Structure 1
């Protein structure tokens, strides 16, 4: 059964996954047993769908119906296939621009970033399948509908996506405080992908090792960092400034 952008009930979720519905995440009650639940767990692992094992109280908050210990969130949009998206953009654009989000967790930050990305001509947003903020109704609302206009793709590992983009001729720049170079020192008027990190930890060290450039924002105040959606806006508008110069 469906409840807003959620499905509840083991059999209903299995059928939705097999029907290629855009299942974003599956919440499974801790300690749930039974052959049908095992079938579901095997299926989500095979499909690479993000899964969380949670107390029954969490499921009761997600659904007021008889959820049978399982609730799934359904993405309001269909995600694009990563390699196909990259190839299409490279064929059509002289200066492709992609945005990679590394473990972003807040759905409203996600929506704000999508809105800014659409306004600044980003060709596609890449997120990891696991550990990323889901694309919810709140995300859609915060994006002002931009989530329906900009392609979004999910990948198993962000590092592999970076290697693929680099092999396709793109320069990859990570936003991080762990560098002396500022955003204004980096050439951005090239085929480009920008990596923004999580709200609390920033871009992960393993991802930083793979990028071509690292860039920070100059900070003059006492607070050490900006909200990630604000920082992302600064980066994207500097790309736009350089490309319009």
Structure 2
């Protein structure tokens, strides 16, 4: 398994961002100042990179006690796919497209489990948002059983950007949500389709729900009102597989 890379030092991180490396997160020491730091801060905002202010002790651990200059970054171990190209290539194939959008999913283990199921069910690509989403790191890849290297993953500035692109390609969208009376078993998956799964605590956001072609839920026969998001995602994906077999 390939591990995510740690880099440290403000200049090194600036160069990584400028070279196009996918930065999962930058950790800063509180109170950093100076022209070089402000240059990095500007780049981070421009590229919508997630940041966190942490104690020096954590930076020491992350950098293995090297001279980190108050800044440490984690670089993604995978290359992200371009959404436009992926949609175009998928539509050109002889298979009915199936995409998966994750709306602010934050737990790396859930993310990894979903990637694994997506690979097993023939998903053409997974789409996540640059900010607020679980990173693709070593733990994600381990939980995915390596599937993160096999399923194309795209990052977009906002999940709505991806929705507009998919709609323009005549791909229908269905959200997994409890805020509907429609069952997943009533949805026709024998058409170009993208499934939208929400965050662990809030589900699919209201603004995203308004953009859906369909909304669907799973039947809940017990006393607990919801499933773990990776389990629910698996149920949706395998219903698509069942209909397409």
Tell me what 1:123 maps to.
124
Using the alignment, how far apart are the partners of 1:94 and 1:61 within structure 2?
A: 47
- Number of matched residues? 242
Deviation at residue 93 of structure 1 after TM alignment: 3.9
Tell me what 1:6 maps to.
6
Using the alignment, how far apart are the partners of 2:59 and 2:209 within structure 1?
A: 36
From the superposition, tell whether residues 50 and 193 of structure 1 become closer, same or farther in structure 2 (CA, over 3 Å): same
Deviation at residue 22 of structure 1 after TM alignment: 2.2
- Equivalent pair of 1:14/1:40 in contact (CA under 8 Å): yes
Is 2:76 the counterpart of 1:75?
Answer: yes
Runs of 4+, deviation exceeding 6 Å: none
Tell me what 1:214 maps to.
215
Q: Secondary structure at the match of 1:201?
A: coil
Is 2:31 the counterpart of 1:31?
Answer: yes
Using the alignment, how far apart are the partners of 2:192 and 2:162 within structure 1?
A: 15
Tell me what 2:136 maps to.
135
Q: Secondary structure at the match of 2:242?
A: helix
- Equivalent pair of 1:94/1:191 in contact (CA under 8 Å): no
Using the alignment, how far apart are the partners of 1:166 and 1:4 within structure 2?
A: 34
Structure 1 segments unaligned to the other structure (5+ residues): none
> What TM-score, normalized by structure 1, do the two folds share?
0.94
Using the alignment, how far apart are the partners of 2:41 and 2:10 within structure 1?
A: 10
Deviation at residue 146 of structure 1 after TM alignment: 0.5
- Equivalent pair of 1:120/1:237 in contact (CA under 8 Å): yes
Query: Once the two structures are superposed, what CA deviation does each residue of 1:57-77 show, in whole Å capped at 9, x if it has no partner?
Result: 443443332322211111110
Using the alignment, how far apart are the partners of 2:223 and 2:74 within structure 1?
A: 40
- Between stretches 50-59 and 203-212, larger displacement belongs to 50-59
- Equivalent pair of 2:4/2:77 in contact (CA under 8 Å): no
Using the alignment, how far apart are the partners of 2:128 and 2:70 within structure 1?
A: 28
Q: Secondary structure at the match of 1:103?
A: coil
Q: Secondary structure at the match of 2:74?
A: strand
> What TM-score, normalized by structure 2, do the two folds share?
0.94
Tell me what 1:40 maps to.
40
Q: Secondary structure at the match of 1:27?
A: strand
Over the aligned positions, Cα root-mean-square deviation in angstroms equals 1.5
Using the alignment, how far apart are the partners of 2:135 and 2:177 within structure 1?
A: 23
Correspondence 1:1-245 to 2 at 5 A: 5-65=5-65, 66-244=67-245
Structure 2 segments unaligned to the other structure (5+ residues): none
Deviation at residue 7 of structure 1 after TM alignment: 1.1
Using the alignment, how far apart are the partners of 1:183 and 1:232 within structure 2?
A: 11
Deviation at residue 31 of structure 1 after TM alignment: 2.5
Deviation at residue 54 of structure 1 after TM alignment: 3.6
From the superposition, tell whether residues 56 and 206 of structure 1 become closer, same or farther in structure 2 (CA, over 3 Å): farther
